[in-house]
Amino acid sequence: MVTIEADEEVWRHLQVRKNPGDSMNDVLRRELGLDDGAAADTLPDALAAAIDAYEPAGDVATQTARAALRDAVTWLRGHEGPAKKAAIVAGAKPADVSEQQWWARAARPGLAALAAEGLVERPTTKTYAIEKGEA
């Protein structure tokens, strides 16, 4: 085993991307693109096309909204079962973006649009889910 130093900012970034049951090695492999399951991060064509076509309302830049939506959907696909806002934000939001900007103005409206298309499930009014193998 090798020990590496990480500053506080890097540590927080990695902690936010840690899924339940992940080791820090799992997180690092995923972040560095070394994960053997990298194909799992590839979105199905229907989801990828819907995200690429997503047009946000309001004053959010299209690319910003699509990036937030892609991050949220990718995280949801790797998550078991329904997830609430707090879990999605903790697992998918980049550390350098405000929660208000990322969730309320970009990810949530995008997830709602995908739910309207039947690509994302809404088990309750406060949860989102994507079943493995769906879309």
Residue 7 sits in a domain whose CATH number is: 1.10.1220
129 contacts 90 by C-beta, under 8 angstroms: no
Would you state the pLDDT for residue 104? 93
Q: Which domain holds residue 38?
A: 1-42
Q: Does one domain contain both 29 and 8?
A: yes
pLDDT value of residue 39: 44
Domain tally, the chain:
2
Q: Look up residue 47 and give its DSSP letter.
A: H
- pLDDT at residue number 103: 96
Residues 6 and 56 in one domain: no
Which tens digit of pLDDT belongs to each residue from 25-81? 777 877 777 765 544 457 888 899 999 999 998 888 999 999 999 999 999 998 889
Instruction: Tell me the pLDDT tens digit for each residue of 68-121.
Output: 999 999 999 988 899 999 999 999 999 888 998 899 999 999 999 999 999 999
**What is residue 135's predicted lDDT score, i.e. its pLDDT?**
47
* Residues paired with residue 84 on neighbouring β-strands, in sequence order: 127
Give yes or no: residues 27 and 56 share one domain.
no
Domain co-membership, 75 together with 29: no
User: 47 with 29, same domain?
Assistant: no
What's the pTM? 0.69
Q: Which residues contact 67 (CB under 8 A, 6 or more apart)?
A: 106
